[in-house]
Chain A
Amino acid sequence: MFEIDKWQEILSTVKKNRLRTFLTGFSVAWGIFMLVVLLGSGKGLENGVAEQFRGGATNGVWITSGVTSMKYKGLKTGRPIQFTNEDYNSLNTTIRGHDHISSRLFLGNNLVSYKNQYGSFFISPCHPDYGYIKEIELIRGRFLNNIDIHDFRKVAVIGEKVKASLFKGADTVAMGKYITINGVLFKVVGIFRDFSRNDNEQKRIYIPISSAQRIFNGNNIVQQISYTTGTATPDQANAMVENTKSLLSRRHTFDVKDQRAVEVWNKSEDVRRFSALFAGIRLFIWIIGIGTIIAGVVGVSNIMMIVVKERTKEIGVRKALGASPGSIIGLILQEAIAITGFSGYIGLVLGIGLLELVSSKMPSTEFFRNPEADFSIAIGATVLLIVAGAIAGFVPAMKAAKVRPVDALRDE
């Protein structure tokens, strides 16, 4: 079906109707261009937001103690809530379905030194499970373990940025060395890279919470408890969060509806909300893009209709010489597909080109990074083009096939 002859014919009809072919081809190219650029930008937006979500399991729940904002059982507002190890233990035994749990203390930035190298780093005491919850990637050594907690060991897992500012040379140099945190010696047992690209997250030091409570606090205070919801469905995860809130409200006597007493961040909720949002955006983009393409297809169909009308006599001649209806349909269809395919391809290339240019020249911001048209978009657009071309050619082709040679050849 795809021989040189047909291509020659397509070329010659296109040449004869240059402006008209250009205009319709342009609308198809524009449609595809818009679709690719919009989808790519949507992807850029999505990448930007996804970046915000990096570092931290998607099924994580973080509960941070706060200050009451509602009167409850005769207690006034503005009362600070203070979590303790008891809360951790109680959540650990009461909340069913979690697979990792950790409490945390916020010690803020502290002076840390090794020999004559100094730096101020964020000290984050926690349980071993926090490595999982925070998606911490170890590049050397190990994370905290239960023996560290049990034996109040003075061990530290340091971020790669911490390592870089305190130690010269390879990572191995730092392993087993003693660093001084706020005047107390801790042994380096691991070096990590945080999953998030945020620099501050790499400038942390994780130490056992038991040791931190004993050394820096002297009691059993906890400021944040976090856990992952395991294989729970979104609804089950929400139920776990509600149970957690009511348990804590009973233990600390505050209104469950008080958003400030404890601040809960259920990441899976956010992730779900954003995926729904982006699914919506994507759908919207496809609708706009396809709408534009349909306009192009109608244009191509129109031009083909005119082409068929103009070529009625020629079609009649072909039939008289032995052309079957099928071969005539093939001729018109192929021409329509060629026009849509070619102009659509140009739109595709220009669209991807623009995206490439933007992603290489524009610095990525918090909410926009790496706009990209991935392979599936390109495939989708290509399939769309061929289908569109076939649709555009269908009605004119059927009309052409129905041309009766007698009518076409009658000498007026």
Chain B
Amino acid sequence: MINIKNIHKSYVMGQSRLHVLKGIDLEIKSGEMISVMGASGSGKSTLLNILGILDNYDTGEYSLDGTPIRKLNERKAAALRNHLLGFVFQSFNLISFKNAMENVALPLYYQKVSRKKRNIIAMEYLERMGLKEWAHHLPNELSGGQKQRIAIARALIAKPKVILADEPTGALDSVTSLEMMDILQEINRTGITMVIVTHEHDIAARTEKTIKITDGIITEIIKN
């Protein structure tokens, strides 16, 4: 599903240059659920952003579901993200003036699905997350766990092949974090590939494989 070879990435800031990813090789098979661990600043988010076609890389190769990802124009990248990928962020990134249902439905808006139809589908996903009664609430009326479940519903609605989650439990308490992992595992069981960045061991332990990144290189791959 995901295949990267010798990926390098540097950030240029004025005169200085920060080499963040120093040759990453990784293969993630379809339906796999892996976690990425590492110290803060080790390059986890950078890697995930490249996988999510949110950022570009300097050298190396990346293919996603058989499609080479290299120097895509913005429109193509947007379409690929929309059809293949779902994102879950630490800070939820819900749109504050849209209610839960509209937030969940947003990816379908960019697929030109009619308003009525996408709201019906959004309601189904909210129901799966146990949030049907909250459909018409704005994000700021919801708890952190509820917000993250809405974000997950939004990530799922376009039926992606891969879900990329950057510290999805980072802003949640431990009980809610474990609930969230239950949900993600369940989603993975439906065949969706999943990459979770985390720095919590008990979260990582619930994935099939943990990849440890230290200073921009993979130093360890642990089977859980």
Contact = CB atoms under 8 A, between A and B. Distances in A.
Q: Answer whether A and B are interacting partners.
A: yes
Interface of A: 3-5, 9, 12-13, 16, 313-314, 316-327, 404-406, 409-411
B184 to A, nearest CB: 18
Contacts of B95: 314, 317-318
B74 A324 contact: yes
A323 B167 CA distance: 23
Counting chain B CB atoms within 10 Å of each CB, which of A12, A319, A322, A327 scores highest?
A: A322
A407 to B, nearest CB: 9
B106 interface: yes
Contact of B49 (A9, A322, A406): A406
B185 interface: no
B111 interface: yes
A377 to B, nearest CB: 38
Nearest to A316: B93
A12 B139 CA distance: 14
A101 to B, nearest CB: 75
B183 to A, nearest CB: 19
Given A13-B97, A317-B93, 5 more contacts: A314-B95, A318-B106, A322-B110, A323-B78, A325-B78
A235 B37 CA distance: 91
24 contacts: A5-B115, A12-B97, A13-B97, A313-B93, A317-B95, A318-B106, A319-B78, A321-B81, A321-B106, A321-B110, A321-B154, A322-B82, A322-B83, A322-B111, A322-B158, A323-B78, A324-B78, A324-B110, A325-B74, A404-B55, A405-B54, A410-B45, A411-B90, A411-B91
Nearest to A326: B75
A272 B88 CA distance: 73
A322 B89 contact: no
A12 B151 CA distance: 21
B107 interface: yes
A313 B97 CA distance: 13
Interface of B: 45, 49, 52, 54-55, 74-75, 78-79, 81-83, 87, 89-91, 93-97, 102, 106-107, 109-111, 115, 154, 158, 166-167
A16 B138 CA distance: 14
A-B pairs with the 10 shortest C-beta distances?
A322-B82, A322-B110, A12-B97, A406-B55, A405-B54, A324-B75, A324-B78, A321-B107, A317-B93, A406-B54
A3 B108 CA distance: 14
A313 B74 CA distance: 17
A321 B106 CA distance: 8
B52 A320 contact: yes
A320 B97 contact: no
Given A3-B115, A411-B89, A322 B54 contact: no
Contacts of A409: 54, 89, 93
B195 to A, nearest CB: 15
B107 A322 contact: yes
Given A4-B115, A325-B75, A406-B49, A320 B90 contact: no
A327 B110 contact: yes
Contact of A323 (B94, B96, B110, B115): B110
B109 to A, nearest CB: 6
A105 to B, nearest CB: 83
Contacts of A314: 95-96
A317 B95 CA distance: 8
B93 A324 contact: no
Contacts of A16: 97
Contacts of B81: 319-322
Contacts of B55: 404, 406
A323 B52 CA distance: 14
A163 B161 CA distance: 95
Contacts of B79: 322, 324
Contacts of B83: 322
A128 to B, nearest CB: 76
A313 B96 CA distance: 11
A226 B81 CA distance: 84
Contacts of B154: 321
